Chain A
Amino acid sequence: MSLVTPDTPMVRFGHFLRDNPVIPLLVLLFLMIAALEIMRPGIVTPFRAGRDGIISTFWAGNLIKFAIPLAMLAACQVLTMLTAGIDLSVGIVATVAAFVCATLSAIWGVTPAVLVALATGLMVGLVNGIGVGLVRVHPLIMTLGTGLIATGCLQVYQRLVINAGSEIPSFLEWLGIGRTFGMPNGLFLFIPFALFIFWLMRMTGFGRLLFALGSNEHAAKLSGVRSWQVYVALYVLSGLIAAIAGLLYLGMIRQTSLSLANPLLLPSVAAAVIGGTSIFGGRGSFAGAIVGALIIRVLDTVLTLMQMPEGARTALFGIIILAVTAIYVRITGSR
């Protein structure tokens, strides 16, 4: 095609990057890891610090371990953003699931606790889906509202179980902090999960419906898509994913708190956006979001190592997210 289109190399490069959004992100990720290595020689490559190994499996394992819950919540954002939506209730859903699971494990035992925790995610997702799909409320408002309601319910629930104590199921601890060959056990959950999301987005009719609704909802409806069914299924799925991520995070942090996973909400949106998912729908990739989550975690480490005051770190975090997104938009020429 390059024979007939008089595109400049720069434009063609932009098209190439738009078709493969993961490549520039991977480059950025490795540049940031290189910067980390320069700042603190030996953190990534132990042999330079006189220890064994070329790449520190401990460091890499840690990076991956903390990126997993973020990437799972980013999956919720990618899926909902495909239909030009957003799910701002994932942080609180994850927190609720973790809290419910930890407290109920002490009362009812592990299996019912996990089931109830997943059911709460399902419930919130169902309400979101009905609001967005049937009543046509803006997803931003709907998920903010359900998040607010869920926060209140969590606080009321907390007073009911305040004396019951809490217990973290051992298999969640195994998933959260255990390691196999230096890699976190969370991967046993995450790899099948990621494959499922890839399969869902690329191979199934449901995935195509998501892309279709996001690209042009009107056209999709005229082609016979019952959009409300898709929305309900989508938000239920999103709530379920958030609940699973919350359970994993519980095993990782091993503490119960009323705001456990809430700080992950905005970074999960950032990871999806950095990963090249369009907030206006119709375009997105989960692979990009995974790399986005890794980038955010490396960025966290870099900023912590710089020993700046907390305020400067927070501000820099925002600036870098904005810069990455802006450059990305500029190169690929898309929003």
Chain B
Amino acid sequence: MNEFARKHGWVLGLLALMVVLLALTRIFQPSFGASGLESIARAALPFAFATAGMAVVVIVGGIDLSVASIMAVCAVSTAVLMERMAGIPAVLLVLGFGLVMGLINGALIVLTRVPDIVVTLAMLFVWEGVALLILETPGGSAADWLQSSIRGSFVIPGFPAALVVIAVCIAVVWIPIRRSKLGLSIYATGSDELAAFRSGVAVGRTKIAAYGICGLFCAMGGLSLAALTGIGEPVPGPYLLASVAAVVLGGVVLGGGRGGLLGPIIAVFILRIVRTDLTLLAVDPNVTVIIEGTIMVGVVMLGTIATLRSARS
């Protein structure tokens, strides 16, 4: 138990923080209940998927600045495809697009040997352009069943469906990978690329696969964007910054090799709940931005100091 607590200390701390925040919300607004929880979960959808994708590439030792742009491409292709064809093939196609875009990012990083920040910075423009080519102005429409799939409760009243969507989608992709050889290779590559290479890990292929997974999560994020708004919006949203913040807050170390996906997802919810609380307290939304930024910087500072301490002792 002690070892479990030490190993998952960060995640447990985040979980406790989330519970405290939820309790605070209840105090601020006694009527806060199932519907409030549901709207938080719904708003968290695209952030959660962007964060999951970002977490995978950060674990492999990279960073993907193009997540928001890939999500924009997927959102507009969902909206355009769903007007023309049946829903399920359209969803599968969009997931395929996301995967391919991620794989292209990874392949370019491995083949050109240009630093990942630079490659994904350039690809940010490329995917943004592609989104604009698909749909010049916001338009198209997402199928009704997609929109209703993230609304309301799942089985038990008060248990938001959006939460189930997040949990199921991420678990279905990540848990098999985490348990497989690929998962081990991803952590090995992120922890020490040279050591991983010398132990026989196909470093290049692992990196490409990690970026592919990131693309897949971004596709889910794009689908959820289309489901949330009902249309396709070609301009990338504020998901890049938010996902980096949540990944770092969630205990994934920049530079790779450490952390999981659970921490970042909890961090997404923490950031969303903070935002809701501040709105309930009638704080100016602009001040909310300042507070969010301060929380992000403050938490990262505390985390860094904590790791420095433990490394010294």
Binds B, one of A181-189, A246-254, A266-274: A266-274
Known: A86-B117, A137-B304, A329-B112. A145 touches B297 (CB 8 A): yes
Given A314-B125, A335-B115, 10 more contacts at CB 8 Å?
Answer: A142-B300, A152-B291, A311-B130, A313-B129, A317-B129, A318-B125, A318-B127, A319-B126, A322-B123, A329-B113
Is B1 at the interface (CB under 8 A from chain A)?
A: no
Q: A307-329 interface mask toward B, CB cutoff 8 Å, 1 = contact, 0 = none?
A: 00111111111110110011001
A119 within 8 A of B: no
Are A149 and B129 within 8 A (Cβ)? no
Query: Which 7 pairs between the two chains have the least Cβ-Cβ distance?
Result: A315-B129, A311-B132, A318-B125, A152-B289, A314-B129, A152-B290, A148-B293
Does B3 interact with chain A (Cβ within 8 Å)?
no
Q: A315 near B130 (CB under 8 angstroms)? A: yes
Given the contacts A156-B286, A311-B133, A322 and B293 also touching, CB distance less than 8 Å: no
Contact yes or no, B292 A279, CB < 8 A: no
Which residues does chain A contribute within 8 Å of B284, judged by CB atoms? 156, 159
B131 beta carbon closer than 8 Å to chain A: yes
A202 within 8 A of B: no
Which residues from B are CB-within-8-Å of A330? 112-113
Contact present for B115 and A145 (CB under 8 Å):
no
Which listed segment binds A: B161-169, B191-199, B240-248? Answer: B240-248
With an 8 A cutoff between CB atoms, is A302 at the interface? no
B118 touches A146 (CB 8 A): no
Please give the distance in Å from B194's CB to the nearest CB on chain A. 15
Q: Give the residue name and chain of the A residue nearest to B134 (CB).
A: A311
Considering only residues 239-263 of chain B, those with a C-beta below 8 Å from chain A are 241, 244-245, 248, 254-255
How near does chain A come to B121, taking the closest CB pair, in angstroms?
6
Contact partners of B128 in chain A: CB under 8 A:
311, 314-315, 318
Within the assembled complex, what's the spacing in Å between the Cα atoms of A59 and B299? 49
- Cβ of A280 to closest chain B Cβ, rounded Å: 7
Within 8 Å by CB of A322, from B122, B291, B300, lies B122
- Complex: how many Å from CA A140 to CA B63? 11
Contacts of B248 in A (CB 8 A): 138, 141
Using Cβ atoms and an 8 Å threshold, which residues of chain A touch B293?
A: 145-149, 151-152
Task: Knowing A86-B117, A142-B297 are in contact, say whether A153-B290 is a contact too (CB < 8 A).
Answer: yes
Is B23 located at the chain interface by the 8 A CB criterion? no
Is A4 an interface residue when CB atoms closer than 8 A count as contact? no
Measured CB to CB, the closest approach of chain A to B209, in angstroms, equals: 21
- Is A155 a contact of B133 with CB atoms below 8 Å? no
- The CA of A149 and the CA of B284, in the complex, are separated in Å by 14
Q: Given the known inter-chain contacts A140-B63, A314-B129, A314-B132, please indicate yes or no for A326 contacting B123, CB distance below 8 A.
A: no
Q: Does A3 contact B (CB under 8 A)?
A: no
User: B85 contacts the other chain (Cβ, under 8 Å)?
Assistant: no
Q: Which residues of A contact B255 (CB under 8 A)?
A: 138
Q: Is A48 an interface residue (CB 8 A)?
A: no
Does residue A136 face the partner (Cβ distance < 8 Å to B)?
yes
Give bound CA distance, A317 to B132, whole Å: 14
Q: How far is the CA of A280 from the CA of B113 in the complex (A)?
A: 13
Known A-B contacts A140-B63, A152-B293, A156-B284; the reply to A316 vs B113 at CB < 8 A is no
Q: Which residues of chain B have C-beta atoms less than 8 A from A326's C-beta? A: 112-114
A152 CA to B124 CA in the complex, in Å? 24
C-alpha gap A107/B81 in the complex (Å): 54
B296 to chain A: which residues have CB within 8 Å?
Answer: 141, 145, 148
A135 contacts the other chain (Cβ, under 8 Å)?
yes
